């Protein structure tokens, strides 16, 4: 009987949520780590955020079927993580947070080995291993033992082994750990590229809000083993209008009324301070143009949009973590 | 994901059957082992006694050679059950040495840098993992124990003729069974040690200790308590007891312990217990999950 790799389908994504948690409770060593998590995450790229000890790794391990839920269930791509563990893991590529490699093996042999364990025939595994290595940018180093790689290269090798067998869901646990800014940027670009190039789903756990913000469409924020927030970033971005905080000299009612005429909402405060909520269609240069036309001096301008950091801090505050540390 | 396109693509090609994937680990382990010159030399040395045994069988069955060497048939040790006991005992000791070299690196290499979650995050269970590693030792130790023993048995059967094979066919069973239990016990002990001890030299020492220290403690227990049940801790003795029972022999070759003092089912019980204990130790160590902090 010939087995084949998971078929490329787009309809399952529409039918089944990427992750579905139903009163999921996980206990380890008699201690409850995840407290009845319930939620549905439908986006293709999901970020997992939370302070240390929030239960991110436990959740990932549970989704991979490493932990047995003491109550409730978790479904990934429509498959129960406990009862259909093997079937689920055949769809998954996993990049662990910690070091995970065989130091004496050359990079390409290591990735080939992992692809073969995933079920690829040796010749296919070899081909995909080379492709994956070149794809992540380690083509030149593929014949070197993984143990001799730098930290950033090891991260890329881990990514290569996670994608070599062509998974449907890529689970990345702290992928940019210990990487310098250019390497981090390159890895984030790669992740975005992978996401956009195929129908692959993504679950990314990170301490770096920027990583999640740049790669994910939906965020699950955990705190003390509970869901602090589930937030659809696409919708948030759409809903969160950008706004300007201005300090002006000589601003009169005509200035604000002209801006309102462009579709902005203005709130005037003392000492020439004005808050302008701008629709997406209005550019900042139009504000400058109006100010120049009306002879208004803009002494200070703060341009911002609600960021994931605001959402995260808000979630932390709502659940009692006023310091919002991560 | 073609190299020239530098683009990610899903894999839609054929997959190997799930049941056969454990053998990927075995294949890679063998490839690594055969890169070591020392291992190849050790493996060849483990086969050398078989050449002598084969030569002896040839001489014992060839009167022309006996005449040329001025040997009398009466002077030669007859190739019967005792002869095969000696072969099995020598080869199982060779297997022990080979196991001490190969076993300690099998799992430690994966655990040292946390590669285990990579295996277990695939459609590949802990059972498959242990089976893959066990197959390495199983095949290797088989190659120096029951396989050459059966070849020697075949050689003797071929040279002796006169229906020798039919009157001695029963010996195939103890050769295979006794080798199998020894291989299983050695392999599981090595894997359990390999799962806990990273350094090869220390792991090799621990394997030696796990055989000799309990035996010494058992003898101390016997001396103090005036009993013989302490010999249950001597795994080699238990194996020889089972071997002797299998070959229906009461030979001095089996040692000076007085082999009939311990019942054979107790010997089986000890060996099976050691296997189960090793599995429990392996089970405790082979976990995919990472540390949960906080």
* Nearest alpha-carbon partner for B13 in A86, A170, A119: A119
Per-residue confidence (pLDDT) for residue A1, from 0 to 100? 39
Instruction: State pLDDT tens for residues A212-256.
Output: 888 999 999 998 899 988 888 877 766 666 678 888 888 888 888
- Contact B25/B132 with Cβ under 8 angstroms? yes
Per-residue confidence (pLDDT) for residue A319, from 0 to 100? 59
Instruction: Quote the CA–CA distance of B200 and B45 in Å, as a whole number.
Output: 21
Distances (CA, A) of B176 to A63, B70, B83: 44, 36, 15
Contacts of B292 in chain A (CB under 8 A): 28, 33, 53, 57-58
CB contact A166 to B (< 8 Å): yes
- Cβ of A103 within 8 Å of Cβ of B17? The answer is no
Across B61-89, b (16+ Cβ under 10 Å) vs e yields: beeeebeeeeeeeeeeeebebbbbbebbb
> What's the token pair of residue B3?
């190299």
Domain boundaries, chain B: 22-285
Distances (CA, A) of A173 to A15, A32, A204, A257, A281: 26, 21, 6, 50, 37
To the nearest whole angstrom, how far is the Cα of B182 from the nearest Cα of chain A?
Answer: 29
Instruction: Quote the CA–CA distance of A35 and A227 in Å, as a whole number.
Output: 9
| Sign of the torsion formed by the C-alpha atoms of B100, B101, B106 and B108 | positive
Q: How large is the angle between the packed helices B235-246 and B200-225, nearest 10 degrees?
A: 80
Per-residue confidence (pLDDT) for residue A240, from 0 to 100? 62
Burial class from Cβ neighbours inside 10 Å (0-12, 13-18, 19+) for residue A325 reads exposed
B3: nearest CB among A33, A51, A134: A134
Mean pLDDT of chain B: 89
Closest residue in chain A to residue B106, using alpha carbons only: A102
Give the residue from B27, B108, B119, B122 with the most A CB atoms within 10 Å of its CB, the best one to mutate.
Answer: B122
Instruction: Quote the CA–CA distance of B148 and B95 in Å, as a whole number.
Output: 12
Per-residue confidence (pLDDT) for residue B258, from 0 to 100? 56
- Contact A204/A211 with Cβ under 8 angstroms? yes
Residue with tokens 């190659």: B143
Instruction: List beta partners, residue B242.
Output: none
Instruction: State pLDDT tens for residues B45-88.
Output: 999 999 999 999 999 998 888 888 888 777 777 888 889 999 99
Instruction: Quote the CA–CA distance of A265 and B32 in Å, as a whole number.
Output: 70
Pairing of strands A19-28, A169-173: unpaired
CB contact A33 to B (< 8 Å): yes
Instruction: Quote the CA–CA distance of B111 and B129 in Å, as a whole number.
Output: 12
To the nearest whole angstrom, how far is the Cα of B202 from the nearest Cα of chain A?
Answer: 20
Per-residue confidence (pLDDT) for residue B63, from 0 to 100? 86
* B64 alpha carbon, distance to own chain's centre: 38
Per-residue confidence (pLDDT) for residue B291, from 0 to 100? 46
Residues from B in contact with A at Cβ < 8 Å? 1-3, 6-18, 21, 24-25, 28, 32, 109-110, 112-115, 117-125, 287-290, 292-294
- Cβ of A197 within 8 Å of Cβ of B118? The answer is no
> What's the token pair of residue B53?
């045994």
ipTM tops 0.95: no
Burial class from Cβ neighbours inside 10 Å (0-12, 13-18, 19+) for residue B108 reads buried
Mean pLDDT in runs of 10 for chain A (326 residues)? 46 69 91 92 91 88 92 93 91 92 92 96 94 90 93 92 93 89 89 86 89 90 90 73 80 86 84 82 85 88 71 68 40
Distances (CA, A) of A140 to A199, A200, B76, B132: 28, 27, 65, 32
Per-residue confidence (pLDDT) for residue A27, from 0 to 100? 92
Task: Kindly state the DSSP code that residue B175 receives in the 8-state scheme.
Answer: H
Across B201-220, b (16+ Cβ under 10 Å) vs e yields: eebbebbeebbeebbeebbe
Per-residue confidence (pLDDT) for residue A233, from 0 to 100? 81
pTM for the model stands at 0.83
- Cβ of B109 within 8 Å of Cβ of A104? The answer is yes
- Contact B294/A53 with Cβ under 8 angstroms? yes
Mean pLDDT of B221-232: 89
Bin A99: left if φ > 0, else alpha if -120 < ψ < 50, else beta: beta
- Cβ of B10 within 8 Å of Cβ of A121? The answer is no
Instruction: Quote the CA–CA distance of A84 and A86 in Å, as a whole number.
Output: 6
Per-residue confidence (pLDDT) for residue A61, from 0 to 100? 92
Closest residue in chain A to residue B28, using alpha carbons only: A113
Per-residue confidence (pLDDT) for residue A47, from 0 to 100? 94
- Contact A55/A69 with Cβ under 8 angstroms? no
Domains of chain A (ranges; CATH) run: 11-91+168-236 (3.40.50.300), 241-304 (3.30.70.270)
- Cβ of A120 within 8 Å of Cβ of B13? The answer is yes
Per-residue confidence (pLDDT) for residue A312, from 0 to 100? 76
Neighbours of A57 (CB within 10 A): 26
Contacts of B3 in chain A (CB under 8 A): 130-131, 134-135, 139
Instruction: List beta partners, residue A25.
Output: A71
Instruction: Quote the CA–CA distance of A236 and A249 in Å, as a whole number.
Output: 33
Indicate the pLDDT class of residue B292, thresholds 50, 70 and 90. Answer: very low
Neighbours of B40 (CB within 10 A): 12
CB contact A116 to B (< 8 Å): yes
Examine the pLDDT at B136 and tell me if it is beyond 80. yes
- Cβ of A128 within 8 Å of Cβ of B3? The answer is no
Per-residue confidence (pLDDT) for residue A323, from 0 to 100? 42
């Amino acid at each position: 009987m010939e087995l084949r790799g998971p078929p490329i389908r787009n309809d399952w994504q529409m039918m089944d949520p990427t992750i579905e948690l139903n009163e999921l409770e996980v206990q380890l060593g008699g201690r409850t780590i995840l407290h009845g998590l319930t939620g549905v995450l439908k986006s293709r790229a999901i970020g997992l955020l939370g302070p240390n000890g929030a239960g991110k790794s436990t959740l990932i391990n549970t989704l991979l079927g490493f932990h047995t839920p003491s109550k409730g269930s978790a479904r990934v791509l429509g498959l129960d993580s406990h009862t259909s563990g093997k079937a689920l893991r055949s769809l998954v590529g996993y990049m662990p947070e910690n070091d995970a490699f065989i130091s004496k093996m050359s990079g390409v042999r290591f990735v080939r080995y992992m692809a073969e364990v995933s079920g690829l025939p040796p010749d296919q595994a070899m081909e995909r291993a080379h492709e994956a290595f070149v794809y992540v940018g380690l083509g030149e180093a593929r014949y070197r033992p993984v143990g001799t790689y730098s930290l950033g290269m090891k991260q890329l090798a881990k990514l290569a082994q996670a994608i070599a067998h062509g998974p449907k869901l890529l689970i990345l646990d702290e992928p940019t750990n210990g990487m310098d800014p250019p390497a981090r940027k390159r890895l984030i670009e790669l992740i975005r590229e992978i996401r956009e190039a195929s129908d692959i789903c993504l679950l990314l756990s990170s301490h770096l809000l920027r990583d999640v913000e740049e790669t994910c469409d939906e965020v699950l924020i955990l705190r003390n083993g509970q869901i602090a927030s589930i937030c659809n970033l696409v919708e948030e971005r759409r809903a969160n209008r950008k706004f300007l905080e201005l300090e002006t000299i000589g601003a009169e009612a005509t200035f604000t009324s002209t801006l309102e005429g462009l579709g902005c909402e203005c709130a005037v405060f003392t000492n020439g301070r004005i808050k302008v909520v701008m629709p997406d269609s209005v550019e900042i240069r139009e504000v400058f143009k109006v100010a120049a036309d009306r002879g208004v001096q803009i002494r200070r301008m703060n341009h911002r949009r609600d960021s994931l950091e605001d959402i995260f801090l808000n979630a932390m505050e709502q659940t009692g973590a006023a310091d919002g540390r991560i | 994901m073609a190299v020239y396109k530098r683009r990610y693509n899903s894999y839609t090609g054929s997959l190997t059957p799930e049941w056969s994937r454990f053998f990927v680990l075995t294949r890679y382990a063998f490839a690594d082992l055969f890169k070591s010159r020392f291992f190849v030399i050790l493996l060849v040395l483990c086969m050398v006694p078989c050449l002598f045994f084969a030569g002896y069988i040839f001489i014992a069955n060839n009167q022309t050679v006996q005449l040329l060497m001025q040997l009398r048939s009466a002077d030669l040790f007859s190739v019967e059950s005792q002869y095969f006991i000696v072969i099995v005992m020598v080869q199982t000791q060779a297997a022990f040495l080979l196991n001490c070299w190969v076993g300690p690196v099998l799992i430690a290499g994966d655990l040292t840098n946390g590669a285990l979650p990579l295996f277990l995050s695939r459609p590949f269970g802990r059972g498959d993992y242990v089976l893959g590693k066990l197959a390495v030792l199983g095949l290797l130790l088989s190659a120096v124990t029951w396989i050459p023993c059966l070849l020697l048995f075949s050689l003797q059967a071929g040279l002796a003729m006169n229906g020798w094979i039919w009157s001695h066919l029963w010996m195939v069973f103890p050769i295979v069974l006794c080798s199998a239990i020894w291989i299983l016990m050695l392999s599981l002990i090595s894997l359990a040690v390999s799962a806990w001890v990273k350094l090869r030299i220390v792991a090799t020492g621990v394997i030696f200790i796990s055989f000799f220290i309990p035996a010494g403690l058992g003898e101390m227990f016997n001396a103090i308590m005036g009993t013989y049940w302490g010999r249950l801790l001597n795994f080699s003795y238990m194996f020889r007891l089972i071997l002797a029972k299998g070959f229906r022999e009461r030979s001095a070759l089996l040692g000076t312990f007085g082999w009939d003092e311990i019942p054979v089912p107790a010997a089986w019980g000890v060996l099976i217990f050691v296997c189960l204990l090793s599995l429990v130790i392996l089970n405790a160590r082979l976990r995919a999950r990472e540390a949960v902090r906080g």
